[in-house]
Structure 1
């Protein structure tokens, strides 16, 4: 029982730090995933916009 009495204060001191590390990791993961989704949506938006521009250019060229 003696080793547990000396180990418990160390564990109690590390628990808040480990909890904050876990919280930080979860938040950073969410930020990175949100950034990835935002970049993908922006790429799709640019591709759609470019496709519409090409389509309107082609229709303008066929009318003249």
Structure 2
């Protein structure tokens, strides 16, 4: 019986490791994208404030 559980553990281990790596990679991609979008939005708001434009523009139209 001990051999069965050891074999089961060795069978599942690679799948778990690959799954964790995939999860970490996707998580880091999504976090970096979110951070980049927040930074870009902040820079864009600063530029709009410098030019005196409203931050509530829609579809590129000035208000």
Structure 2 equivalent of residue 35 of structure 1: 33
Q: Which has the higher contact order (CA 8 A, sep 6+)?
A: 2
CA distance in 2, matches of 1:22, 1:4: 26
Correspondence 1:6-45 to 2 at 5 A: 6-45=4-43
TM-score by length of 1: 0.76
The alpha-carbon deviation at position 34 of structure 1 amounts to 0.2
Q: Which has the larger radius of gyration?
A: 1
CA distance in 2, matches of 1:27, 1:5: 34
| Partner deviation per Cα, 1:6-31 (whole Å, 9 max, x = no partner) | 11111101101000001011111111
Runs ≥4 in structure 1, deviation > 2 angstroms?
A: none
Unaligned runs of 5+ in 2: 54-63
Task: Please tell me whether residue 52 in structure 1 is matched to residue 50 in structure 2.
Answer: yes
TM-score by length of 2: 0.77
